[in-house]
Amino acid sequence: MKNENIFSNLRKHIAETDVFSNEDFEKLTSIFTVVPLKKKEFFTVQGDHCRYLAFVNEGCLRAFHTDDKGDEFTMYFAFLNWWVGDKTSFYSDVPARFSTQALEDSEIFQADKKKWEDALEQIPFFEKWYRVKTRKSYEATQQKIINTQTESAEEKYLKLLKNNPEIVQRIPQHYIASYLGIKPQSLSRIRKNLSEQK
Amino acid sequence: MKNENIFSNLRKHIAETDVFSNEDFEKLTSIFTVVPLKKKEFFTVQGDHCRYLAFVNEGCLRAFHTDDKGDEFTMYFAFLNWWVGDKTSFYSDVPARFSTQALEDSEIFQADKKKWEDALEQIPFFEKWYRVKTRKSYEATQQKIINTQTESAEEKYLKLLKNNPEIVQRIPQHYIASYLGIKPQSLSRIRKNLSEQK
DNA sequence: GGAAACCGTTCACCTATGTTAACTAATTAA
DNA sequence: TTAATTAGTTAACATAGGTGAACGGTTTCC
C-alpha cells in the first residue's frame, strides 16, 4: 500500500456517515502515528496510564480485564474500523482497567490526548463523528450488561454464531470463552451438546 | 418548599463542579418540568420511546430490564442528583431497553429532546457538565460489566454493603437481588450464610 | 378491620458452570 | 524436524445459584 493511501480505509469509513473536505481530513490524519503491532503485542496494559486512543486499520485486538484471581475477561474484540483504548484512563489519568492486545499482526493509528483534543476542537466533523461513536459504544456497553445477566452461556454462544460469525471463525476458542464469561472447558462442553442435539 | 427554591438542590449540585451565572442557571431550569411521581409509578416504560431525560430531586427510582422469560434485572438505582432515562432511546428514537420506576414518592425535573438540545447548545457550562456526566456513566457501566463477570453474588453483596450502604438500607431486598443478578431466595441464603459465619 | 397481595425466609432438589486432570492435536521455536 | 508450548476435548466430581413450594409477617387497600 502506497503511503499516501494508508488512510484510505479510514476515509471511506468516516465518509459512510459524514461529509468533510480533503483539507479537514488531512488535518485529522496528521494527528495519527501509524503503529504496526505483532501478534500478541500489547497496545495498552491494565494498570498503566492509557496515553493513546487508536483506530484499527488492519488485524484485530482484544480488550480484557484480569481480576484478582488471575482470571481474564474479554470485554470486546476490535476489528477493522474500531477504536481501542481505555477512555477512562485516557481522559482521567487513572490506571487502565483493561489491557489491549493484538490477536493477529495488526496496524493501528494512534494519537495522544493533546493531539486528540486539538483535533476535536479544530475539526467539527470529527467532533461530531466521535460524539456519535462514543454514544454508540455506551449503548453497546449497556446492552452487554443486559445480555450478560439475562442469557445463559449457550444462548450467548448461539447469538454470537448468528450475529458475529466472523468472531467465531477468526478468534481462538479460549478467547471466545473468556468473552462469554466462561471457561474454555465449558465452551467445549456447550459445543459438544449443541452438535449432539442436531 | 417555596417554588423559587425548588431548584436549589440542583443549583448546589452543579455548583460543586462548575461555575455559572444566575442568568445561565435560570435559562437551564426553564427547560424543566417538575414532575411528582407516586411510589411504583413509571417514568419510562421498556419498549416505549423514551421522550424525556430527568433529574432526580427527591426520592428514588430504579431502572430495570425485563427479559423474554419475564425476569427483571435492575441496572441501577437513581437517588438524589442522578439523571434517569434511556439515552439510547431518547436520542435514536429506538424503543427503550428498560423501564424506570419510582421506589418511593419522588420528584423529578424532566425535559424533552428539543429543550434538552437547545440547552446543550445555548448554555456552555451545561454542555460541559453533561459531557463529563455522560463519560462518568459510561465508565460506571464498563466497571459494572467487569464486576458482573468477575465477582460472585456474595462478593457483590458484601461490596454493596461496604460501598453503598444506603442502597441496602433503603431498597427492598428483592430489588437488591435483582440488582445483583440473582433471585431473592438466593440473596436470602447468602445473608444467612454471612450471619452464620460471624 | 379484614382480605388480599406482597415480602422475606427456609428447605429439598435441580442444573449450569467451575475444577482438576489426563489426553490429543495444532502451533511455534530451536 | 523435533521438542516444547499452546489449544481444544473429555470426564468425574464440586459448587453456586435456580426452582418450586410452604410458612409467617407486613403492607395495602376495599
Give the CA distances from residue B178 to residues A52, B74, B78, B102, B181, in Å, rounded to whole numbers and listed in that order.
37, 5, 15, 16, 5
pTM for the model stands at 0.92
Beta bridge partners of A159: none
- When pLDDT is averaged across residues B82-96 and rounded to a whole number, the result is 93
Q: What whole-number distance in Å separates Cα of residue B157 and Cα of residue B164?
A: 10
Chain centre distance of CA A10:
15
**Predicted local confidence at residue A2, as pLDDT:** 46
Nearest to A71 among B87, B92, B150 (CB): B150
- When pLDDT is averaged across residues A170-196 and rounded to a whole number, the result is 96
Residue B3 pLDDT > 90: no
Which residues from A are below 8 Å from B75, CB to CB? 142, 145-146
Give the CA distances from residue B142 to residues A97, B16, B87, B90, in Å, rounded to whole numbers and listed in that order.
9, 25, 16, 21
Which residues from A are below 8 Å from B146, CB to CB? 65, 67, 73, 75, 97-98
**Predicted local confidence at residue B186, as pLDDT:** 98
Q: Which residue is nearest to nucleotide C8 (CA to C1')?
A: B188
Mutate one of B141, B156, B178, B186 to test the A interface: name it (highest A CB count within 10 A): B141
DSSP codes joined into one string, chain B: --GGGTTHHHHHHHHTT----HHHHHHHHTT-EEEEE-TT-EEE-TTSB--EEEEEEES-EEEEEE-TTS-EEEEEEE-TT-EES-HHHHHH--B-SSEEEESSSEEEEEEEHHHHHHHHHH-HHHHHHHHHHHHHHHHHHHHHHHHHHHS-HHHHHHHHHHH-HHHHHHS-HHHHHHHHTS-HHHHHHHHHHHHHH-
**Predicted local confidence at residue B78, as pLDDT:** 96
CB atoms within 10 A of CB B30: 11
- When pLDDT is averaged across residues A50-66 and rounded to a whole number, the result is 97
Residue A1 pLDDT > 60: no
Across chain A, mean pLDDT equals: 94
Across chain B, mean pLDDT equals: 93
Instruction: Report CB contact under 8 Å: B87, A144.
Output: no
Pick the closest to residue B64 from B46, B41, B84, B91 (CA basis).
B46
- When pLDDT is averaged across residues B127-152 and rounded to a whole number, the result is 92
Which residues from A are below 8 Å from B91, CB to CB? 135
In chain A the domains, ranked by start, together with CATH numbers, are 3-115 (2.60.120.10)
**Predicted local confidence at residue B48, as pLDDT:** 96
Residue of A nearest to B149 (CA): A181
How far in angstroms lies nucleotide D11's C1' from the CA of residue A173?
A: 20
Nearest to A149 among B146, B148, B150 (CB): B148
**Predicted local confidence at residue A198, as pLDDT:** 57
**Predicted local confidence at residue A135, as pLDDT:** 87
Instruction: Report CB contact under 8 Å: B142, A71.
Output: no
Asked if B135 reaches chain A (Cβ–Cβ under 8 Å), the answer is yes
Mutate one of A75, A100, A149 to test the B interface: name it (highest B CB count within 10 A): A149
- When pLDDT is averaged across residues B172-187 and rounded to a whole number, the result is 97
Confidence band (pLDDT; 50, 70, 90) for B198?
low
**Which residue, chain included where needed, has cell 428498560?**
B98
CB atoms within 10 A of CB A113: 14
Residue B174 pLDDT > 70: yes
Q: Which nucleotide is nearest to B154 (CA to C1')?
A: D16
- When pLDDT is averaged across residues B42-60 and rounded to a whole number, the result is 96
% of chain A surpassing 90 pLDDT: 88
